Amino acid sequence: MSTLRLTMAQALVRYLAAQRTVYDGEEMALFAGVFAIFGHGNVAGLGEALQGMAGRLPTFRAHNEQAMTHAAIAFAKACNRRRMMACTSSIGPGATNMVTAAALAHVNRLPVLLLPGDVFANRRPDPVLQQIEDFGDPTVTANDCFRPVSRYWDRITRPEQILSSLPAALEVLTDPALCGPATLALPQDVQAESYEYPEEFFAPRVHRLRRPGPDDEELKAAADALKESQKPLIIAGGGVHYSLACEDLARFAEDRAIPVAETQAGKGALPWDHPCQSGALGVTGTGAANALASEADLVLAIGTRLSDFTTASRSLFQNPDLRLVQLNVASPDAVKHGAMPLVADAKRGIAALAAAAAGWRAPEVWSSRAAELAAEWRLAADKATRPGNATLATDAQVLGAANRCAGPRDVVVCAAGGLPGEMHKLWRASGPGAYHLEYGYSCMGYEIAGGLGVKMADPSREVFVLVGDGSYLMLNSEIATSVMMGLKLIIVVLDNHGPDLRNLPVSSFSKQIAETVRTDRAVGVNDDAITDRNALADHNVRPQYAVSPDL
């Protein structure tokens, strides 16, 4: 058996560079690159290895570890989990900076490979700089913080351990049911230790989307329930996008005249003006979708966890005869809320249901009611988002202005605060990929870094980042990274003078806790300032460098 003598870090990087995927019908690298902030614990080992593979696995320098991981996660989401990135940091605060982003990836079921540096495995120089000392357990390091927020976690204490650990991590990263962050903690001495690695370990491998089909009995039960319903409703979640099943869903809904409501992650599965589109669902939802949900006698939830905001903490579905069918590739999600499970890939599951319910359509009175409610909501949204004469614009008017500036291929990015609620109801998504919201973890600071990741995934699309001033101030460092990389972002900051959550603390505690800092003047945005996409783009820094050909 042929072998290659490499350091552990060199072998790890070479293995990542050999992984392939099929995206948009083209075979390409699974890992688009590695975000890195080098320091104590990763510069000598992993840094040297990445430099040697720059032509096959590019390294991107960021300005904050949490932000670079957000960017990597957003990149994977924008690629529908078909491509991904890795992130590496130093052993101390650099590593723990990534923990928040790891939790975000875990909640949202998005792949990212985390490679934090770690203390010396041989312990000879202990305690080293930035080392956490647990007097009762010398094996504990700061990287143990990643355990509860990783789908896969390992600490590589011998160079040969990556022969089993790397394939296991890749299985988690690429499996639709297991998908989430994988963490490999890399002790700095082990990174530089050499080993005779089998040459076949570095052979190119193509990772293709796994599409499990439904169980016959589960399929029959779901199809029978659908055919017996009088008021069916489909809920489209993020799994519809990740399965590339948006067109399948549209055909299924059209053929059976079933209204479709959308979660934050599922928004855009159908274009905003599709005849079956009922809009956003739940706490941040539209009157149309929520009215239908309260009356529905069958809900077919596709690719969604049905979280508390989607179900209004399990209060949204009011029909006592309701039957809930959960079509999901992950069995733990498929049985939530006492649902009838239909464990399958969304695309295959929709196709199987279509065949099993061939010829059946929802009653016309139900589909007509859904269409009337959707039309009423669109008129209300038009009224809320049109420009007004006031000195300062409302959030809805700002969203309307930005929405009118965005082209059909452009992408809007948002995350925490009050904006996602307005966005979910009011933003008119042109179709799949046009609406990118992080609302599973609702993490302040995701927006600008996430926008960078979306832009890296497809530099040909304009990216509109909508962010509140509190979230902007919390994490805006990747504006510098976007300028450095020549990747333009259109950033709209909505200024309400800080994290404006005063009503809750005022009612619960005291006015002293709720005070916010006010400036001498307010800044307003209206349609006179934003008349078209060119005017909006003129307020942004122009790119100075070409886009990396590796992306």
Taking residues 455-473, what's their average pLDDT?
96
Q: Into how many domains does the chain fold?
A: 3
Give the containing element (helix H, strand E) for 329: none
Q: Check which CATH number belongs to the domain holding 161 and give it.
A: 3.40.50.970
Interatomic CA distance for residues 436 and 266, integer angstroms = 10
168, with CB counted inside 10 A (0-12, 13-18, 19+), is: middle
The verdict on 112 and 67 lying in the same domain is: yes
What letter would DSSP give residue 479? Answer: H
Q: Parallel, antiparallel, or unpaired: how do β-strands 3-7 and 205-207 relate?
A: unpaired
Q: 179, 207, 235: which is the final residue of a domain? A: 207
* Structure confidence by residue, pLDDT tens digits, 277-312: 999 999 999 999 999 999 999 999 999 999 999 999
Q: What are phi and psi of 341, to 5 degrees?
A: -80, 145
56: in domain: yes
543: in domain: no
Q: 189, 207, 225: which is the final residue of a domain? A: 207
Helices (H) and strands (E) in the chain, counts: 23, 21
* Structure confidence by residue, pLDDT tens digits, 92-110: 999 999 999 999 999 999 9
Is 508 in a helix, a strand, or coil? Answer: helix
The verdict on 191 and 60 lying in the same domain is: yes
The verdict on 197 and 235 lying in the same domain is: no
Q: What are phi and psi of 165, to 5 degrees?
A: -75, -40
Contact 146, 183 (CB under 8 A): yes
142: in domain: yes
Give the containing element (helix H, strand E) for 5: strand 3-7
The verdict on 179 and 255 lying in the same domain is: no
The verdict on 160 and 295 lying in the same domain is: no
Q: Which two tokens stand for residue 337?
A: 């809320």
Contact 41, 188 (CB under 8 A): yes
**pLDDT given for residue 129 in this prediction:** 87
413: in domain: yes
Dihedral over alpha carbons 353, 359, 364, 367 (to 10 degrees): 30
Residue 119, C-beta contacts closer than 8 angstroms, at least 6 positions apart = 41, 91, 126, 127, 128, 131, 141, 187, 188
**pLDDT given for residue 501 in this prediction:** 52
In the chain, the percentage of residues whose pLDDT exceeds 70 is 90
The verdict on 201 and 237 lying in the same domain is: no
89: in domain: yes
The verdict on 237 and 341 lying in the same domain is: yes
The verdict on 156 and 54 lying in the same domain is: yes
How many Cβ atoms sit within 10 Å of the Cβ of residue 390?
10
Q: Check which CATH number belongs to the domain holding 229 and give it.
A: 3.40.50.1220
Is 534 in a helix, a strand, or coil? Answer: helix
Nearest residue to 486 via CA among 541, 406, 407: 541
550: in domain: no
Residue 30, C-beta contacts closer than 8 angstroms, at least 6 positions apart = 16, 19, 20, 21, 83, 84, 174, 207
542: in domain: no
In the chain, the percentage of residues whose pLDDT exceeds 90 is 85
Nearest residue to 149 via CA among 122, 204, 110: 110
Taking residues 155-184, what's their average pLDDT?
98
**pLDDT given for residue 496 in this prediction:** 77
**pLDDT given for residue 497 in this prediction:** 66
Is 436 in a helix, a strand, or coil? Answer: strand
Q: 377, 402, 434: which is the final residue of a domain? A: 377
pTM of the model: 0.91
Nearest residue to 514 via CA among 497, 490, 537: 497
The verdict on 32 and 149 lying in the same domain is: yes
* Structure confidence by residue, pLDDT tens digits, 233-246: 999 999 999 999 99
Please give the single-letter amino acid code of residue 516. T
The verdict on 317 and 289 lying in the same domain is: yes
The verdict on 193 and 120 lying in the same domain is: yes
Is 338 in a helix, a strand, or coil? Answer: helix
* Structure confidence by residue, pLDDT tens digits, 263-285: 999 999 999 999 999 999 999 99
* Structure confidence by residue, pLDDT tens digits, 484-534: 999 999 999 998 765 555 455 555 555 554 454 444 433 333 333 333 434
545: in domain: no
Interatomic CA distance for residues 247 and 269, integer angstroms = 8
The verdict on 169 and 244 lying in the same domain is: no
Interatomic CA distance for residues 132 and 393, integer angstroms = 50
Nearest residue to 470 via CA among 522, 507, 418, 537: 418
Residue 185 belongs to what domain range? 3-207
